[in-house]
Structure 1
Amino acid sequence: MAGLVWAREDQAGAAPALIFFHANGFCVSTYRSLLKPVAAALNAPVAAFDLRGHGLTDLPDNPDHQDNWNRFAHDIADLIGQIAPEGAVLAGHSMGGTSALLASGLRPDLVKGLCLFDPVLAPTPFYVYAHMPWVFRLWRSQFPLARAAGRRRAVFPSRAAAIEAYRGRGAFKTWPEAMLADYCEDGLTDMPDGQVRLSCAPAFEAACFAGQRHNPIKALKALRVPGRLLRGARHSTTVGTLIPLLTRCGIAVETIAETSHFLPMERPDVCGQALIELVRSV
């Protein structure tokens, strides 16, 4: 797994206080302007890692086998066991947040807290249906997010051309210029002919949207550490009917006004402060 660490020079090699994971289709370089100030404020190392199939990580990423996010959770659990043997706060956006929650169920001894930004969380019946044997194949072809991801343009003449193509469009509509440029740093991979291609293949991104054969509700109910969840006021992937359950499980939920699913991009100040406060509290 490839990643980035923000720390003072004399903290090199120290275990991170916070480990962050990205949304589906993105990479950790996307969140640089969010996480670098958090490390400075905490005066402690902050790390973020590319999940398999994303960014610079080179773990196997066969889309035909990506029918759940448990693989991400096991990767995260193995990772924190190696780099933070005394534990750390886990955080993440969207799929990264859900995967961090799933990992907390695998290694509760190493997770000191959770800070989640619009994680993908739905009621239990959704996951029961997702486990039906035909659903993964059906959703890969019919689920709107999966279909759109599978049709993404994969190759651009340059990073500058990709930025120009993305600016003000689709999922990037509300992003600041700096975050868009940071996404294109590791979200695109250099090719021998000078062009760049998406680091997360469209077929793999589509499979991640369709592959919901995991059970974050079980992990949520087993949670025994402090948690915070910030959700977008528009198009949130944290279903509102789950807020009472989240609260009972010790997760403080806040809906951030005038934000969408991409609230880390839209309000990095609010998200950064939430990270700082949670790490300090534990």
Structure 2
Amino acid sequence: MATEVTYTVTTDDGVRIAVHPLGGSGPPLLMVHATGLCGQVFEPVARLLGERFGCVASDQRGHGQSGRPAGGDYSWSGFALDVLAVVDGLKLEGPKLEGPKLEGPVLEGPVLEGPNLERPVALGHSSGATALVLAELARPGTFGGLWCYEPALFGVHDNARLADQARGLAAGARRRREVFGSRRDARERWAAKAPFSSFAPAALDAYVDGGLEDLPDGWVRLRCRPEDEARIYEAGGGHDAWDRLGQVTCPMTVAWGKLSTTFGPEQAQAVAARLPHGGVEAMAGLGHFGPLEDPALVAEALARDLGRHVGRDLGGVERR
């Protein structure tokens, strides 16, 4: 069941961003989802990490319980503002995960228990990974390390192919069914077809809980509207992260799924080669939605890789 405790922060351009504390008492780990999803899909990964990190997931603008930008402007620079608002509003670098921009239900004690003095580390998936990179570029030194699964980062040599891909993704998004008779109805439909059929059951459950809103007539509706999702894809080529990868000074691992048809070893190597402290990690048996397909495998990689960046041995992850 998706977490019921949600906080909000406000970005510099006035968008309210929902934040979900997912548990743990270790160094702060921010999780940022891909287009069309929501932060709560990372609940299975966070649960498997246990106390190794203090996990927090955000809903990017236009997704989950977050607000929508004025005028439907989905320039990807806005997603970087979302990330920075979470870091600032929750004071991820301070002794408690709380701050003056924080709004929402009141809990006894901080959202993350224990000291959180390190710079946060972060997991990003696809466009969420790009948002992390853009945030780090906007404010160098924000993160102590990034683990980016199939980041949407491409050079100018890919412009024509990416334009075609964006048109296809946008068209597909606009065809998405927006309203369902119930959450059960939505889950049954999604579980029967790709890409949702590849999700671990717990990840799909979290998406059903967090990605749908209740309507007065008892039906449910996608929180990420198909038109908004389409506009996000159409705006995907408008950032300069590729050209500025050399300015990302924190360690960054570029991970990809060996079964993915979206990202491959050549792209992973090309991104990592432009980074001052870049590395690659191939994930066996995973496709483009790897963090949601095998949360245990991804949790193991995070404990190993990001644990190095916070200077502690976080040990292995028990599969459940």
1:28 matched residue in structure 2: 39
Do the aligned partners of residues 107 and 272 (structure 1) sit closer, same or farther apart at CA in structure 2, a change above 3 Å counting?
Answer: same
1:72 matched residue in structure 2: 79
Q: Which of these residues, 192, 195, 218, is aligned with residue 168 of structure 1?
A: 192
Cα deviation for residue 101 of structure 1 reads 1.0
* TM-score normalised according to structure 2 size: 0.76
Q: Which amino acid aligns with 1:235?
A: T
Cα deviation for residue 24 of structure 1 reads 0.3
Q: Is the 8 A contact 1:102 1:219 kept in 2?
A: no
How many angstroms apart in 2 are the aligned matches of 1:5 and 1:47? Answer: 4
How many angstroms apart in 1 are the aligned matches of 2:196 and 2:202? Answer: 12
Aligned sequence identity (%) = 29
1:221 matched residue in structure 2: 246
Do the aligned partners of residues 166 and 224 (structure 1) sit closer, same or farther apart at CA in structure 2, a change above 3 Å counting?
Answer: same
1:104 matched residue in structure 2: 136
2:168 matched residue in structure 1: 144
Q: Which amino acid aligns with 1:202?
A: P
Per residue, is there more helix in 1 or in 2?
1
Do the aligned partners of residues 165 and 242 (structure 1) sit closer, same or farther apart at CA in structure 2, a change above 3 Å counting?
Answer: closer
2:63 matched residue in structure 1: 54
Query: Runs of 4 or more off by more than 6 Å in structure 1?
Result: none
Measured on the aligned residues, the alpha-carbon RMSD in Å equals 2.4
Unaligned runs of 5+ in 2: 1-16, 95-118, 310-320
Cα deviation for residue 6 of structure 1 reads 2.6
Confirm whether residue 240 of structure 1 aligns to residue 266 of structure 2: yes
Q: Cα deviations across residues 186-218 of structure 1 (Å, max 9, x unaligned)?
A: 100011111100000000111111112012213
Q: Which of these residues, 23, 44, 49, is aligned with residue 7 of structure 1?
A: 23
Q: Cα deviations across residues 164-202 of structure 1 (Å, max 9, x unaligned)?
A: 111130211211222111101010001111110000000
Q: Is the 8 A contact 1:16 1:47 kept in 2?
A: no
Confirm whether residue 81 of structure 1 aligns to residue 94 of structure 2: no
Q: Is the 8 A contact 2:31 2:42 kept in 1?
A: no
Q: Is the 8 A contact 1:4 1:28 kept in 2?
A: yes
The answer to which structure, 1 or 2, has the higher relative contact order (CA under 8 A, 6+ apart) is: 1
Do the aligned partners of residues 17 and 279 (structure 1) sit closer, same or farther apart at CA in structure 2, a change above 3 Å counting?
Answer: farther
Cα deviation for residue 58 of structure 1 reads 1.8
Q: Is the 8 A contact 2:33 2:125 kept in 1?
A: yes
1:257 matched residue in structure 2: 284
2:145 matched residue in structure 1: 113
How many matched pairs?
265
2:297 matched residue in structure 1: 270
Q: Which amino acid aligns with 2:80?
A: A
How many angstroms apart in 1 are the aligned matches of 2:147 and 2:173? Answer: 26
